[in-house]
Amino acid sequence: MLNTLSHGTPGGTPLVIVHGLYGSGRNWGVIAKRLSDRWHVLTPDMRNHGDSPRTQTHSYPDLAGDLAELIDAHGGRAHVVGHSMGGKAAMVLALQHPEKLASLLVADIAPVAYTHSQIQFIEAMRAVDLSRVEKRSDAVEQLALHVEDKTLQSFFTQSLDVQNKRWKLNLDTLAREMPKILGFPEIQGRYDGPTLFLSGGQSDYVQAEHRPRIRELFPKARFAKIPKAGHWLHAEDPRGFEASVRAFVDHVEG
């Protein structure tokens, strides 16, 4: 079972937030806490991330199966919000187990293969000499030699266990499975439930040419943008992201 943080009081249809590559459930703590005034919010660590099990595989059917198990443990049906890798996992969950979703919100990703590899970040993390890390800033200093973006430096080191001098990421499996992470599996099925594709206005991850494929798999898909945000829309405009989730799920629940 995935390691999962719980926010708010159990009851009603829970809201599951699925993080992206190199993330963790803890990254979503602020937004989850705000939304917990209305829903019981669950933020799992996906496999090979955070405190969840490390495995030899990291395919989207695997990730979807993990989420199905989590939802079954919390009543059998949930609203699911997924960002990037988490969005792909949520889409596969919806296509394979539509009965487990009350609604689906996909944040800045499409059901297509992408060409921009994320492997350089694994190499950057592997390059950190953990024996010389006594505090998080020591790792940031080393990461800065390979990763220019200060936001990403901070983001990656949130997955660093300083005390035990280890990454809370299964870098070996993630590197080996990167083609699957960047891709999207061929799946028979469709999800006819309420679906929102929420994109960053400054991001190029969800293109107009992706819409036919999206509508083929998710016939009720609607589209919205957070104008001033990029791919990390929940971090760049957390209030806007929270408001979008609220409006969509409230509308679904009527």
Active site residues: 84, 172, 231
- Specify the DSSP class assigned to residue 169: B
- Distance of alpha carbon 254 from alpha carbon 249, whole angstroms: 8
E-state strands within the chain = 4-7, 15-18, 41-44, 78-83, 101-107, 160-161, 166-167, 195-200, 221-226
Please give the torsion angle defined by the CA atoms of residues 201, 207, 211 and 214, in that order, rounded to the nearest 10 degrees.
-90
Structure tokens at 185: 């599996």
Nearest residue to 231 (alpha-carbon basis) of 95, 116, 131: 116
Rounded to the nearest 10 degrees, the angle between the axes of helix 85-96 and helix 60-72 is 70
- Distance of alpha carbon 156 from alpha carbon 170, whole angstroms: 13
Q: b/e for 234-251, b at 16 or more Cβ within 10 A?
A: bbbbeebbbebbeebbee
Taking the CA of residue 252 as centre, how many other CA atoms within 13 Å lie in the half-sphere pointing to its CB? 23
- Distance of alpha carbon 139 from alpha carbon 29, whole angstroms: 23
- Distance of alpha carbon 2 from alpha carbon 5, whole angstroms: 10
